[in-house]
Amino acid sequence: MNILVLNWRDMKHPEAGGAEVHFQQLFRRLAARGHRITLLTTRFPGSTREDRQDGIRVLRWGHTYTFNWEAPWFVRTLARRERFDCIVDDVNKIPFFTPRWFPRLPVCAFFHHLFGATIFDLAAYPLARYVLFFENLSAWGYRNVSCCAVSPSTVEDMVAHGFDRTHIRIIENSVDADRYVPPADRSVKRSDMLVFMGRIKRYKNLEIVLDALRVLADRGRQLQLVVAGTGDHEDHLKERTAALGLEQLVRFAGFVDDDEKTSLLQQATLFVNPSHKEGWGIANIEANACGTAVVANNAPGLRDSVRHGQTGLLYRENDKDNLITCITDLLDNPDKRRRLEAQGREWAVSLSWDSSAAKVEQWLTEVSRKE
């Protein structure tokens, strides 16, 4: 198949995140199977207009704030040059509404999550309202289109927004269980280190972890917290850390490469994920793959990627006291923690990108033939 995918970012974009990992892992496998993959995405400072990544042709023709308006003209230009068997809208910000622009072309859509109210934690009010306006039109834009969601939470959110459940299938995110592995020597695992990994945004809700750390320190339990990642909320968190007197207990590691990422996940006593909402929470699975149990907010997406009592613990949604209870429980019960670590690794290994790619290939084949 000749497949065109629209996504706001590619893997080399400085703000690439879980949606971009998802795209790259799936479609590089489809490219290896002989399919022609073109990614249409946005420019960023220092980027080239055209690139090739893992057998995928990357065309950077768009601009950060206007890509949703530009995309139809770019697609039309490409469609004049070559025939695409399928066009995929990778919806993780403002939808592209490609089915409305090109009703006769075979179009389908990936949905990672819907922002809802969390968009106000991500963007200034006018921009947040702008994004939310288009998100609320999603069901209209993709009403009769085959859609794929990455988790049951995302499906429920889509149905609540007016999507037809019969047009949605779930293909869950996976993990590279060969890259993310438990430490060969368990002695590298710390007994006092919490790790968070991801973009540092307001909706990630890291303040609750800092507050919990302060309470635990006051109780005589001095834990170290490593925050790996960058984002526009980082300065605020550093100020909050200083105000709480936690400078000696919190390390902001900034961007980490894959090797350092694996090392941190292997060393961690626990991985903490307090986000208000995720499409899935791939970092939870990466931590599990490295033999580390997870303590996460019982929020959409996270409750799909963490199996409570099996691969980690889910604390009551946005409840600091229950977060403290869950952390303390696993620190005070090493046998229980080791059981969750072992089961977490089994859970991660069961989520194979190869298997997910095969499911995506079947889905896209059905879409292209149906049209």
Residues 260-294: tens digit of each pLDDT: 999 999 999 999 999 998 988 899 999 999 999 99
d(CA 362, CA 264): 36
d(CA 368, CA 371): 5
Of 154, 67, 147, 138, nearest to 107 (Cα)?
Answer: 147
Same domain, 121 and 245: no
Same domain, 311 and 219: yes
Residue 180 forms part of a structural domain: no
237 CB-side CA count, 13 A: 28
Same domain, 162 and 48: yes
Same domain, 238 and 101: no
Residue 131 forms part of a structural domain: yes
Q: Domain holding 41: CATH number?
A: 3.40.50.2000
- Using alpha carbons only, how large is the chain's radius of gyration in Å? 21
What is the total count of domains within the chain?
2
Same domain, 57 and 45: yes
For 77, the token pair is 């230009």
Same domain, 275 and 358: no
Q: State the average pLDDT over residues 159-172.
A: 93
Of 84, 93, 76, 73, nearest to 15 (Cα)?
Answer: 93
For 316, the token pair is 């009551």
For 326, the token pair is 């869950």
Find where tokens 């307001």 sit.
Answer: 202
For 68, the token pair is 């949703």
Same domain, 40 and 82: yes
Residue 179 forms part of a structural domain: no
Same domain, 212 and 343: yes
Res. 171: pLDDT tops 90: yes
For 137, the token pair is 């039109």
Same domain, 95 and 241: no
Residue 132 forms part of a structural domain: yes
Res. 33: pLDDT tops 60: yes
Res. 370: pLDDT tops 80: no
Same domain, 191 and 287: yes
Residues 233-250: tens digit of each pLDDT: 999 999 999 999 999 999
For 54, the token pair is 């893992």
Of 320, 341, 342, 316, nearest to 330 (Cα)?
Answer: 341
Q: What is the pLDDT of residue 371?
A: 53
Find where tokens 């601009």 sit.
Answer: 63
For 299, the token pair is 């929020």
Same domain, 357 and 313: no
Identity of the residue numbered 155: V
d(CA 259, CA 264): 9
Identity of the residue numbered 333: N
Same domain, 149 and 258: no
Q: What is the pLDDT of residue 121?
A: 72
Instruction: Supply the range of the domain harboring residue 41.
Output: 2-174+352-370
Cα four-point dihedral sign 122, 101, 49, 19: positive
